[in-house]
Amino acid sequence: MKLNKEKYVDAIISFAKLLNKASHWEHSKQTVGFIERANNDHYLYEFYCYIRIVSDLTANYTVKYVSGKGKYPDKFPQAAAKKRLVPRFEIYDKKTDKKLFQICTGTKVKSVHDFYNVHPDISFQKAHAGDEPENSDLLMVMDAKFKRQPDKRLPFDEITSFCELVNGIYGLQKKKLPELKFHRLKDILGNALLTNALAHNDNDTYISGRNIKEIEAFDVGKIYRVKGGKRKVSAKIAKLPSDSRL
């Protein structure tokens, strides 16, 4: 069995090749180079979730890579960062080439409270959100939770913390979700807590009423399951992509 680092690095590199083929990621070799040097399982898992989600969207959209304006413009952040300094992906309509969304990782978004700003693991922002995005630019967020014991359940405090992020800090509880068309991952649409482990429990009443989902077993080669939202569903995740439709 591969170590976590090997598993995630292999998957990330494979998705990077897919993005380089299906989008305009011109700096993919330089971009994924730092991944091979990373030794933090939590960060590798977070980036795996991000790159897998972006890759899935290439089936229905044109995905364009945008370099940052910092010292390392093609290095995705391993810690909280200002949006303008780091790279991101933008989503365009395939027919009209109209920009529809931006997908960022680890970048600051101003909250509804001036004194409390955080950096969501994955943030879906409006097409023309600026370099200092505010709460009004935010469409939905996702958070990645890696656990060394994937057969264990997420602790309840991580569920409540994500609920506070979605509803207390960003006020997304009643906000309409974007009309984003996933391919293989279509059932994850929403403010989602992604984990390689198990959901807190099988009773999703608490999270369903708060406009969030738990996506358990979201990992390489596993079958993920969705808790919360309008329904419970599952879908198989391919171990590695083999063409632009995966």
pTM to 2 decimals?
0.86
Domain for residue 244, yes or no?
Answer: no
Domain for residue 202, yes or no?
Answer: yes
At 53 the pLDDT is 96
Domain for residue 241, yes or no?
Answer: no
Range list of H helices, the chain: 4-22, 28-37, 41-56, 156-163, 205-208
Mean pLDDT of the chain: 82
Count of domains for the chain: 1
Domain for residue 161, yes or no?
Answer: yes
CB count within 10 Å of CB 212 equals 28
d(CA 122, CA 47): 9
Range of the domain at 204: 4-236
Q: Residues near 41 by Cβ (< 8 Å), separated by ≥ 6?
A: 4, 5, 8, 146, 148
List residues bridging with 198 in a β-sheet: 153
More confident residue, 96 or 240: 96
Tokens standing for residue 169: 């800090």
The pLDDT tens digits for 154-213 are 999 999 999 999 988 898 888 888 989 999 998 999 999 999 999 987 667 788 778 899
Domain for residue 60, yes or no?
Answer: yes
What is the separation of C-alpha 91 from the centre of its chain, rounded to a whole number of angstroms? 14
Domain for residue 188, yes or no?
Answer: yes
Percent of the chain topping pLDDT 90: 48
Residue 239 scores a pLDDT above 60: no
Domain for residue 245, yes or no?
Answer: no
Domain for residue 101, yes or no?
Answer: yes
Say if residues 25 and 16 touch (Cβ distance below 8 Å).
yes
Closest by CA to 118, choosing from 138, 91, 89, is 138
